[in-house]
Amino acid sequence: MKLTVYLAGEIHSSWREEIKDLVKARALPIEFVGPMENHDLSDRIGEEILGTQPNPILRDDAASSINNLRTQVLMNKSDLVIALFGKEYKQWNTAMDASAAVSLGKPLILVRPKELHHPLKELSRKANVTVESVEQVIEVLSYIFSEK
Amino acid sequence: MKLTVYLAGEIHSSWREEIKDLVKARALPIEFVGPMENHDLSDRIGEEILGTQPNPILRDDAASSINNLRTQVLMNKSDLVIALFGKEYKQWNTAMDASAAVSLGKPLILVRPKELHHPLKELSRKANVTVESVEQVIEVLSYIFSEK
Amino acid sequence: MKLTVYLAGEIHSSWREEIKDLVKARALPIEFVGPMENHDLSDRIGEEILGTQPNPILRDDAASSINNLRTQVLMNKSDLVIALFGKEYKQWNTAMDASAAVSLGKPLILVRPKELHHPLKELSRKANVTVESVEQVIEVLSYIFSEK
Amino acid sequence: MKLTVYLAGEIHSSWREEIKDLVKARALPIEFVGPMENHDLSDRIGEEILGTQPNPILRDDAASSINNLRTQVLMNKSDLVIALFGKEYKQWNTAMDASAAVSLGKPLILVRPKELHHPLKELSRKANVTVESVEQVIEVLSYIFSEK
Amino acid sequence: MKLTVYLAGEIHSSWREEIKDLVKARALPIEFVGPMENHDLSDRIGEEILGTQPNPILRDDAASSINNLRTQVLMNKSDLVIALFGKEYKQWNTAMDASAAVSLGKPLILVRPKELHHPLKELSRKANVTVESVEQVIEVLSYIFSEK
Amino acid sequence: MKLTVYLAGEIHSSWREEIKDLVKARALPIEFVGPMENHDLSDRIGEEILGTQPNPILRDDAASSINNLRTQVLMNKSDLVIALFGKEYKQWNTAMDASAAVSLGKPLILVRPKELHHPLKELSRKANVTVESVEQVIEVLSYIFSEK
Amino acid sequence: MKLTVYLAGEIHSSWREEIKDLVKARALPIEFVGPMENHDLSDRIGEEILGTQPNPILRDDAASSINNLRTQVLMNKSDLVIALFGKEYKQWNTAMDASAAVSLGKPLILVRPKELHHPLKELSRKANVTVESVEQVIEVLSYIFSEK
Amino acid sequence: MKLTVYLAGEIHSSWREEIKDLVKARALPIEFVGPMENHDLSDRIGEEILGTQPNPILRDDAASSINNLRTQVLMNKSDLVIALFGKEYKQWNTAMDASAAVSLGKPLILVRPKELHHPLKELSRKANVTVESVEQVIEVLSYIFSEK
């Protein structure tokens, strides 16, 4: 049994690397996928492929069309989704991805600092589990594979 | 043909009343549903029904479980979802509802001020239409019912 | 907006009548459906329609085939499922109906005495809301219909 | 053709080991998955990962959220579900898992002592096959793979 | 609560009229739909609408395309399917309709003379209930609507 | 039994009026829905609601986002889809709508002049019935409602 | 690309062996699955595993429950279903399997002697392709894998 | 992570070879599938397998039944669909395949010369991304696999 896990959420910190390292240290059979982590490239990918756009909104539309394609391809392949919310940014695309995961029947782990609980309370109730740290994520992932 | 429309999004302004009044003025055959608009009640409904909770996070959990139930019942009955984002607040539950609508095959109209486009760019691409004002919403709703 | 609600669970007490009376008193637009409440008829309906069966297990199979048909027809028509667990009996069919509701995308309210929480903990996490009394059910139902 | 089989049900006896041993003896290409079999860990996993909870009900909620996540991940990967009911315990989570399997279009084998038939009669009619022993389970599994 | 019931199966006897009369006598709120009962018209409807076909197989194809359209429209609207097998004819389209109903999540009542049980055994296990007579069908339909 | 029928396809001829008149003459209980038939408005609706766009492609994008919303709302409400292809125009949106109908489990009638059969051959095989004239459509619709 | 193909239909002739041999000769990457081909075992498997049954109908029920389980497991794993009808027997289970395949979105090839077309006309229209011989099946399978 | 990509659209140019070569050059882990590219064979495959047909329309029906089977088998196996429209031909089957992909939850990339945008505007809005060249397709595919 091997799992594919989609890591949704902010691309400004190194939380994905931490998870990958910890999973590797425990030798759990997990393949990770996720969004483009190069924020700059993620914002300009639309114009890079489709050419210069007439204004910033259309520049954003072009980029998000390609980012959404990527997310849909990779989330369809995943067995589990982990969505992390940080203290900054609007992160509406993370909420969107987390909700899409639940609607697709894919289990969801929510990661957020405790002080963000109030605005995330509805999403937290839709998630299977809500935790506060990357270490807790690893504990949950390990638990799926341990039998006794 | 009569439509049921779910109005997702902020409950701090009077945008729902504006939409209902304008739709009434045009005599469009639409029934509107949506979240509890009394913000205070929405936050305390958990403790009101389930009793005092041990801490604020659990108070939130109790409230959101009942708010999510309400949303699920009413969105299941809807033919169309309109999600409005304002300039304040995190509004992650609005993003969650909008994404759930798309996943359920329900058409989605996104309403947001232009300056919020960047953080909403992925959700905007998933929506059928993105507009900036309540008046534009009415134009879209009218268009569905006009034939010539 | 009118809702159809399936009342799953024990048929030995009068909880359905209590809910119907309270809903009527509040004039909520809800139609209730549920299992055959005549326990004796529910157990012998198989032999009554299909004739005497060779042994008690087959007598049960005959009855449950017709009871399952009834449940499937009526639950398919429902917008919301309420499942009540009492202190006696195995009630595995109630757990089965509650789980089917969740899988069909129908919101679920669980009703159980507090002391039954431990064996119901997994089902409680799958439900939208877990309450302890019929009065709390009515509060939740009222909340769905109130706007302010 | 290799199958993945989820073994739902009581974790107090050694029935899973018996099935695995018998399947190994017959060299059937089956991978088994299932719930955490360490009952104590299963009950305390919530507090172990999420920290001490304010009361026993919330301790249970925390544990069941993680157990449900595990079940959902592993059942999604399965081709067949086997649910065993023993003579003790409420086992409502087993009924919940068995019903979820049927709703997901996954074939279901029910295992129960004959004297439990009456309370399980509705679930038994939803299952593909109902048997009484682990040996009968093996016979059914072998039959899937034999051609003549 | 009003139900729509699709009556699949042979169109050579008057079983549909019998069911409709008995349901009317009991004043059950059921609307019945089903295939074209004029056998001759059912066979020639293809050529009647699409013109003369080059050979009998294409004549059949033309007719069945229109009969399948009719069945799909009406079965989609139905809450319950009743499929009757008689002693004559191949009736493969009845088996096809019955199986489609199960796959669509629509409850199924199978009606057949006892001596046809062996060739119908797999379909009988997929049906919710198998009976032998129109009177038994009425008993099952009545049971859905009676509460005590 | 009342049906809702979506009329997909060209908006340059009066075929929808012909169908509606003929259905009215036969008093069939059918409600028709379909795309905006005012071609000019259909093309400029994007700019009319969303404002002037930077170039013709974006003008088209704006219009089609609103036209797709309308189609999705109305097709979701429909029991049957009729798609008509004429001799002119690319009509790729008609092919798109027809294919979406099939994927949604909605029966499809294709209308096209015989000389268009070759490029429509794959879509014709996916449709339930392919006819050449509005009169044939009426014959099929009548057949759904006639019983003998 | 490797395909799994379910071979539904009569188990009295050697058509499955013919297909397997021809596919092997062409080295097509196909794995075949299907029902138990030992007719006698298929009929008595219920009593063999579940013990002697009270009468022939219950003997059949026991056998078909296990045969249906096998079919559901293997068809769920398949990419394509081939259903063969011969000149003898009722073969209602073959029609049931073919219809289930279509409902599950699995492509269907129907094989039947030309003289059986009339009673199979509705099923033939639901199938993707209808052929008369095992050789034609092989041609279709080869066509899926050839590119030029 | 390995992806399977279906290449829908015209079979008169060498665009599939160009994509395959460029993907190979970048060593992306993608397997490509698609329609029969031998146009002549694609048109005559019906008569080749099913024998001479009475007229050109039936010759087309026979061919398209087999081509649709092929498409359904291969598209079901795919993670992503790319649909290319050229300047010639009706290409309604390409629009059909593209729309089916969207309905099945499979991401869609549309490729078309800019001058075809107007007739493709509705389909373009349903696609995840619309591009003009094979090189842009490769950029999008590469982006899915690059992480930084």
Q: Where are the beta strands (DSSP E) in chain C?
A: 3-9, 30-33, 80-84, 108-111, 129-131
Q: Cβ D37–A107 below 8 Å, yes or no?
A: no
Angstroms from G137 CA to nearest CA on chain H: 9
Residue G96 has pLDDT above 90, yes or no: yes
Closest-CA residue of chain D to G76: D79
Q: Which tokens belong to H19?
A: 């994509």
Q: Cβ A126–B68 below 8 Å, yes or no?
A: yes
Candidates A77, A126, A131, A72; CA nearest to A98 is: A126
Predicted local distance difference test score (pLDDT) of residue B73: 98
* Residues H42-92 pLDDT 10s: 999 999 999 999 999 999 999 999 999 999 999 999 999 999 999 988 999
Chain D CB contacts of C99 under 8 Å are 95-100, 103
Write out the residues of chain B at the interface with chain F, using a CB-CB cutoff of 8 A: 1, 3, 79-80, 105-107, 109, 128-129, 131, 136, 139-140, 143-144, 146-148
Stretch A58-85: mean pLDDT, rounded? 98
Closest-CA residue of chain F to B147: F36
Long-range contacts of B139-144 (CB under 8 A, 24+ apart): B139/F48, B139/F49, B140/B109, B140/F49, B140/F66, B140/F69, B141/B5, B141/B23, B141/B28, B141/B30, B142/B26, B142/B28, B143/F36, B143/F45, B143/F49, B143/F66, B143/F70, B144/B3, B144/F69, B144/F70, B144/F73, B144/F74
CATH of the domain at C92: 3.40.50.450
Predicted local distance difference test score (pLDDT) of residue A147: 84
Banded pLDDT at C136 (limits 50, 70, 90) = very high
Chain A CB contacts of F55 under 8 Å are 54
Predicted local distance difference test score (pLDDT) of residue F30: 98
3-state secondary structure of F140: helix
In angstroms, the CA A47 to CA A61 distance is: 10
F and C interact (at least 3 Cβ pairs within 8 A): no
Look up the ipTM and state it. Answer: 0.95
Banded pLDDT at D50 (limits 50, 70, 90) = very high
* Domain assignment present for B28: yes
Predicted local distance difference test score (pLDDT) of residue H147: 84
In angstroms, the CA B3 to CA F77 distance is: 9
Torsion from C-alpha of F35, F38, F39, F44, nearest 10 degrees: -100
Residue B147 has pLDDT above 90, yes or no: no
Chain A CB contacts of H139 under 8 Å are 48-49
Task: Give me chain C's average pLDDT, please.
Answer: 96
Which helix H or strand E contains H60, and what residues bound it? helix H56-76
In angstroms, the CA A4 to CA A130 distance is: 19
Chain A CB contacts of D74 under 8 Å are 1, 144
* Residues D116-145 pLDDT 10s: 999 999 999 999 999 999 999 999 999 999
In angstroms, the CA G37 to CA G12 distance is: 8
Stretch G28-53: mean pLDDT, rounded? 97
Q: Which residues, at least 6 apart from A10, have a Cβ–Cβ distance to it below 8 Å?
A: A84, A85, A86, A88, A89, A91, A94
Residue H12 has pLDDT above 90, yes or no: no
Stretch G90-110: mean pLDDT, rounded? 97
Stretch D60-84: mean pLDDT, rounded? 98
Chain H CB contacts of G147 under 8 Å are 34, 36-37
Predicted local distance difference test score (pLDDT) of residue B51: 97
In angstroms, the CA C63 to CA C58 distance is: 9
In angstroms, the CA F132 to CA F115 distance is: 10
3-state secondary structure of C72: helix
3-state secondary structure of D13: coil
* Domain assignment present for E47: no
Predicted local distance difference test score (pLDDT) of residue A12: 84
Residue C147 has pLDDT above 90, yes or no: no
Angstroms from H79 CA to nearest CA on chain A: 6
Angstroms from A19 CA to nearest CA on chain B: 24
- How is chain E split among helix, strand and coil, in percent rounded to 5? 55, 15, 30
3-state secondary structure of A109: strand
Closest-CA residue of chain E to F104: E76
* Domain assignment present for F61: no
A and D interact (at least 3 Cβ pairs within 8 A): yes
Q: Cβ D74–A148 below 8 Å, yes or no?
A: no
Report the DSSP beta bridge partners of residue F3: F30
Q: Cβ C117–D68 below 8 Å, yes or no?
A: no
CB pairs below 8 Å between C and E: how many?
54
Q: Which tokens belong to D27?
A: 């060299």
Q: Name the neighbours of E, counting chains with at least 3 Cβ pairs within 8 A.
A: C, F, G, H
Question: Which structural domain, as residue segments, surrounds residue A30?
Answer: 3-38+77-145
Residue B143 vs residues B136, F34, F57, G50: alpha-carbon distances, Å? 11, 12, 21, 63
Report the DSSP beta bridge partners of residue G7: G82
* Residues F23-36 pLDDT 10s: 999 999 999 999 99
Angstroms from G90 CA to nearest CA on chain E: 6
Chain H CB contacts of G106 under 8 Å are 76
* Domain assignment present for H90: yes
Predicted local distance difference test score (pLDDT) of residue F50: 97
- Are G5 and G33 in contact by the 8 Å Cβ rule? The answer is yes
Angstroms from G33 CA to nearest CA on chain H: 17
Q: Cβ G117–E64 below 8 Å, yes or no?
A: no
* Residues A86-97 pLDDT 10s: 998 899 999 999
Candidates G20, G6, G4, G1; CA nearest to G97 is: G6
Q: Could you give the count of Cα atoms lying within 13 Å of F30 in the half-sphere of its Cβ?
A: 29
In angstroms, the CA E49 to CA E38 distance is: 16
* Residues H27-46 pLDDT 10s: 999 999 999 999 999 999 99
- In chain G, the largest separation of any two C-alpha atoms, in whole Å, equals 59
Candidates C88, C40, C46, C39; CA nearest to C68 is: C46
The shortest CB-CB distance from D79 to any of G41, G50, G77 is to G77
3-state secondary structure of D2: coil
Q: Name the neighbours of H, counting chains with at least 3 Cβ pairs within 8 A.
A: A, E, F, G
Stretch F117-131: mean pLDDT, rounded? 97
Predicted local distance difference test score (pLDDT) of residue C12: 83
Banded pLDDT at F12 (limits 50, 70, 90) = confident
Query: How many Cβ atoms sit within 10 Å of the Cβ of residue B145?
Result: 17
Start-to-end Cα distance in chain G: 16
Q: Could you give the count of Cα atoms lying within 13 Å of H83 in the half-sphere of its Cβ?
A: 28
Candidates F84, F106, F92; CA nearest to F64 is: F92
b/e per residue G103-138 (b: at least 16 CB within 10 A): beebbbbbbbeeebbebbbbbbbbbbbbbbebebbb
Report the DSSP beta bridge partners of residue G4: G31
The shortest CB-CB distance from F1 to any of E37, E49, E77 is to E77
Stretch D10-33: mean pLDDT, rounded? 96
Tokens 């629009």, residue?
Answer: H95
Tokens 């486009």, residue?
Answer: B117
Q: Cβ C124–D65 below 8 Å, yes or no?
A: no
Q: Where are the beta strands (DSSP E) in D10-137?
A: 30-33, 80-84, 108-111, 129-131
Closest-CA residue of chain F to E40: F148
Banded pLDDT at B148 (limits 50, 70, 90) = confident
Q: Cβ D49–A109 below 8 Å, yes or no?
A: no
Angstroms from B40 CA to nearest CA on chain C: 10
Residue D87 has pLDDT above 90, yes or no: yes
Predicted local distance difference test score (pLDDT) of residue H148: 81
Stretch E103-124: mean pLDDT, rounded? 97
In angstroms, the CA B130 to CA G62 distance is: 57
Predicted local distance difference test score (pLDDT) of residue B12: 83
**How are strands ordered across the β-sheet holding G108-111?**
G30-33, G3-9, G80-84, G108-111, G129-131
- Are A42 and A71 in contact by the 8 Å Cβ rule? The answer is no
Name the burial class of residue H35, with classes exposed (0-12), middle (13-18) and buried (19+) by CB atoms within 10 angstroms of its CB: buried
Predicted local distance difference test score (pLDDT) of residue C148: 81
Predicted local distance difference test score (pLDDT) of residue G148: 81
Report the DSSP beta bridge partners of residue B3: B30
Banded pLDDT at A148 (limits 50, 70, 90) = confident
Closest-CA residue of chain G to H100: G105
Name the burial class of residue B62, with classes exposed (0-12), middle (13-18) and buried (19+) by CB atoms within 10 angstroms of its CB: buried
Predicted local distance difference test score (pLDDT) of residue F147: 84
How many domains, chain H? 1
User: Which amino acid is located at C85 in the chain?
Assistant: F
Predicted local distance difference test score (pLDDT) of residue E12: 84
Q: Name the neighbours of G, counting chains with at least 3 Cβ pairs within 8 A.
A: C, D, E, H
Candidates H59, H51, H114, H46; CA nearest to H85 is: H114
Residue E148 has pLDDT above 90, yes or no: no
Q: Cβ D69–A129 below 8 Å, yes or no?
A: yes
* Domain assignment present for C10: yes
Chain A CB contacts of B56 under 8 Å are 117-118
B and D interact (at least 3 Cβ pairs within 8 A): yes
